Structure 1
């Protein structure tokens, strides 16, 4: 089941695989009770970029997947693990909206959201067992990093610890780890040699960090996202631009930082902070850092086989940097 090398045919191949995975996701989220099925499909039905299944497909296309069924299983495990973590994240963050729809914890309650997250983790663990022990081990280690990243975010940086460095460590664990594992799963399904799977790990980890850091910028600079601009600011969530702002010691920057740490519940106050941030040099600096890291991610691809799949992975670097939603 090799992927076609013609660009149009390759894009059609990827779309077909994603459609198959979408159907399989709904089936995997089916419980023994109608209520479990409804709650487990809540976030899945709201849509999403399916970025992790896409990475599984693209990475597997560097070689020849051992079977269509295993390719689907690999993508399912990654997306189910991701979706399960979202249920838990929304409880931790007391979120009310997820993907433009009411979050599960606001529709039902925290207990239901936590239990549904656990159920989806269990479904992912069941499916990954059919792929083999190496896949099971990687998924378990990825889950461990997800949890430790959430703990580190909850506890916050230690006294004297660099705030930006601590934040980037959290991003690597909470976002980079699962995207790295998605790329690795694809390579493993295709039987790529260890050094190429390692290259995919490095690529995916860096790309995952870029993905989150671009979200940080989008929260400030874009009016076209699924969430209200400035949501992270209003909720006091640290982001790359606001953390970098602490490096500026001029009066205007210090005043802006004080506003950011103040009460932003009023829409006018939030709009003023957004206006000032958008005009500050820190936005360009943060954007440069995102672009730099995307090039680091692209550098890992040099060890991978040339062809349309590697080109598609390279184009993802540009897509993640330039996206506005």
Structure 2
């Protein structure tokens, strides 16, 4: 899918490995574990795509920001896994499972700091630092909102959309916006790329939430029903609560609000949501965001970059991992 930036993505990997090296061997080991576990590299890929869409792309100039974006994402996942008490991610052992919570948290802090050090050393415009700082703030806000509302019945969809915007959509928006800026896009085109990133970010998180219901643990690299078990009420569940009959709605609500539900009750909650139109409804909302994302792409984009952006949107809408 990302053939047009394949050389850039190939250069990203050794740059990531170099960025996580520490004078403390244990921190280097943790960083290598995280980098080698893979991932889609979607955030730096979107940044690089947008940067290529500008008139003055320079790989050496763009690469530190690409690395920083992936490091920020990685650090946030390390902290998420501690909060969720997760044992696996991407099919591999989590940092907290392998080294314990304290080392995991401090390693995440180290990776955040390395991301900002990389960018600070390059002397970018101050707006780049402001955007990255804003990104970390919104990521934290999204996680706080998610934790604060766990095991609660939502009053509607608005709170869910706010949460996923802060957790995911703002991140992809900033990736595309920074890419346009670093690559030399006009302000108007940069704003359109930011809109594209925000909309595919909303679709990405809705689709990610759908995977909790559609795929097995082996497929998605983490336990199926994980969100329900953690009390996270996602769009398919919100929809199910609004369309199920009174008896099933009350049963699902009781399951959601029980923080100590056993595996069989998680399975029952999954079954209730699957029996409603919640999954189809959530997919429709994701598809609507993707339509808006495609329409937002600047007319001035190089045809190869445009086609890759369209392919990325299609991948997000139908991904299975």
TM above 0.5: yes
The alignment status of 1:279 with 2:275, answered yes or no, reads yes
Deviations 1:16-45 (A, max 9, x none): 211110111011010011111011222222
Maintained 8 Å contact 1:199/1:303: no
Gap change, CA 1:258 and 1:150, over 3 Å in 2: closer
Q: Shift of residue 92 of structure 1?
A: 1.8
Root-mean-square deviation over aligned CA pairs: 2.3
Please report how far the alpha carbon of residue 299 of structure 1 lies from its aligned counterpart in structure 2 after TM superposition: 2.0
- What do residues 97-124 of structure 1 show as CA deviations (whole Å, max 9, x unaligned)? 2221121112122221111111111111
Q: Are 2:77 and 1:81 aligned?
A: no
Q: Which moved more, 1:30-39 or 1:296-305?
A: 296-305
| Ranges in structure 2 where 5+ consecutive residues have no aligned partner | none
> Is residue 194 of structure 1 aligned with residue 187 of structure 2?
yes
User: Cα offset for 1:260?
Assistant: 3.8
Residue 311 (structure 1) aligns with: 307
Provide the rounded CA distance (Å) in 2 between the counterparts of 1:99 and 1:161.
29
Alignment of 1:314-325 (within 5 A): 314-325=310-321
Provide closer, same or farther for how the CA distance between residues 100 and 27 of structure 1 changes in structure 2, counting only shifts above 3 A: same
Aligned counterpart, 2:243:
248
Q: 1:128 aligns with which of 119, 122, 131?
A: 119
1:18-97 matched pairs, under 5 angstroms: 18-97=9-88
Aligned to 1:6: none
Name the CA shift for 1:19/1:160 in 2 (closer, same or farther; >3 Å).
Answer: closer
- Flag structure 1 segments of 5+ consecutive residues without an equivalent: 1-9
- Alignment match, 1:102: 93
Instruction: Report if aligned partners of 2:88, 2:221 keep a CA contact under 8 Å in 1.
Output: no
Task: Say whether the 8 Å CA contact 1:214–1:320 is kept in structure 2.
Answer: yes
In the alignment, is the contact (CA less than 8 A) between 1:65 and 1:71 conserved in 2? no
| Ranges of 4+ aligned residues in structure 1 off by more than 6 Å | none
Of residues 49-58 and 225-234 in structure 1, the stretch that sits farther from structure 2 once superposed is: 225-234
**Could you tell which deviates more after superposition, 160-169 or 313-322?**
160-169
* SS of 2:297 mapped into structure 1: helix
Going from structure 1 to structure 2, the CA distance change for 1:62 and 1:104 (only over 3 Å counts) comes to same
Matched-pair contact (CA < 8 Å) for 1:43–1:98: no
Equivalent pair of 1:259/1:273 in contact (CA under 8 Å): no
How far residue 324 of structure 1 moved from its aligned partner, in angstroms, is: 1.1
CA–CA distance in structure 2, aligned partners of residues 108 and 321 of structure 1: 35
2:198 paired with 1:167: no
Question: Given that residues 219 and 232 in structure 1 are in contact (C-alpha distance below 8 angstroms), is that contact kept between their aligned partners in structure 2?
Answer: yes
TM-score w.r.t. structure 2 length? 0.90
Structure 1 window deviating more from structure 2 (90-99 vs 173-182): it is 90-99
Match of 1:3 in 2: none
Offset at 1:227?
Answer: 2.0
Do the aligned partners of residues 215 and 103 (structure 1) sit closer, same or farther apart at CA in structure 2, a change above 3 Å counting?
same
Aligned to 1:265: 262
- The alignment status of 1:238 with 2:238, answered yes or no, reads no
**Using the alignment, how far apart are the partners of 1:64 and 1:134 within structure 2?**
19
The separation in 2 between residues aligned to 1:259 and 1:161, in whole angstroms, is 13
Supply the distance in 1 between the matched residues of 2:243 and 2:169 (Cα, whole angstroms): 28
User: What TM-score does the superposition give when structure 1 sets the normalisation length?
Assistant: 0.89
